[in-house]
Structure 1
């Protein structure tokens, strides 16, 4: 016997436009991220960052990050068993857009002085630092990210990986391109310094 639906669930299950609209929005995010990947490539070329491995950008999407759809752009990206370098652009349905720098292994060792200098210079205003043991979590709950505090001394040497991220709410959709461009440029300049 089928489980009964609530009145709200019945309204949703009979509304074809709901999923069609959701699919259209996800497609728009993918197209937006495709355009961002081209913008990101140009930033890297202009900033002359030969140390950044220019592997082709990768856009992936899924239906179940904590039960909700998401889209990810990883560029630049280098994922090894120990050595990870990625700038991740993230869309999470019903939540936010975010940009994250993720480093581990040799990349963390190489770029840590640049990150620490940028923190000292207060270049990471309104950014967060990863505090979880799981590098693949992207939510901004207190068990995963903490606001980055320039006056605090971090022992990043002890971190298995380093994640620094910033988010913008989805109701600022029209500001997202500027948000990503400015913060991507900031990350590349810090890493190239």
Structure 2
């Protein structure tokens, strides 16, 4: 027969609404932070000559939240975002309760092909900036646990080149400690700018 008895720690939590009230207040603040981050990223877009396809900006930004990413609450901003059956261009910022913030550039399909050469040639800049690359098969895992990501700076250029060409998608990401809360908007905006600069290889006539 299943045991439904509470542990002392569980009993202390269920008898007090304060824990949930504080959690809800914190999530509300994360939602507000994500909204402000979207404004900062959009302001950067207005000043850059990065060659966005007009379709990419039609979907705008999206902030979502949930309670059960691997049993813990989360908040996510997708901006900019472009998803269809043959291509993805998305910059995703995620808050994962008890773990970290992260930002991820997800390229897939025809978009990934378009930027493949720039990705290969950007090896040194990505390595020096501390970016990681997703190395698993399922592109919809978002955390850095279980060997999902590897530091680009810890692989050789030849390994990096093979990894860029391995799948029809690539995800470049960077985690940020929760202790960076007060600087997180600036840190993620800088990462976003660095990634767009790396992809935007201007051709000389």
Q: Same fold (TM over 0.5)?
A: yes
Cα distance in 1 for residues equivalent to 2:117 and 2:52: 15
Cα RMSD, aligned residues only: 1.8
> Residue 33 of structure 2 corresponds to which residue in structure 1?
32
Cα distance in 2 for residues equivalent to 1:91 and 1:19: 18
Match of 2:156 among 130, 143, 151: 151
- Contact 2:127–2:151 (Cα < 8 Å) also in 1: no
Number of equivalences: 193
Bigger fraction of residues in helix: 2
Unpaired runs of 5+ in structure 2?
A: none
- Contact 1:47–1:189 (Cα < 8 Å) also in 2: no
> Residue 167 of structure 1 corresponds to which residue in structure 2?
175
Deviates more, 1:29-38 or 1:122-131: 122-131
> Cα gap change, 1:186/1:138 in structure 2, threshold over 3 Å: closer, same or farther?
same
SS at match of 1:69: strand
Q: Normalising by the residue count of structure 2, what TM-score does the alignment of the two structures yield?
A: 0.88
After superposition, the C-alpha distances for 1:60-106 in whole angstroms (9 at most, x for unaligned) are: 11111110000110011111123111000110000000110111100
Unpaired runs of 5+ in structure 1?
A: none
- Contact 1:63–1:70 (Cα < 8 Å) also in 2: yes
> Residue 44 of structure 1 corresponds to which residue in structure 2?
45
> Residue 130 of structure 2 corresponds to which residue in structure 1?
126
CA deviation after TM superposition for structure 1 residue 49, in Å:
2.5
1:18 maps onto 2:19 in alignment: yes
Q: Normalising by the residue count of structure 1, what TM-score does the alignment of the two structures yield?
A: 0.93
SS at match of 1:129: strand
1:137 maps onto 2:145 in alignment: no
After superposition, the C-alpha distances for 1:134-184 in whole angstroms (9 at most, x for unaligned) are: 111111124211111263322112223100100111122122122112111
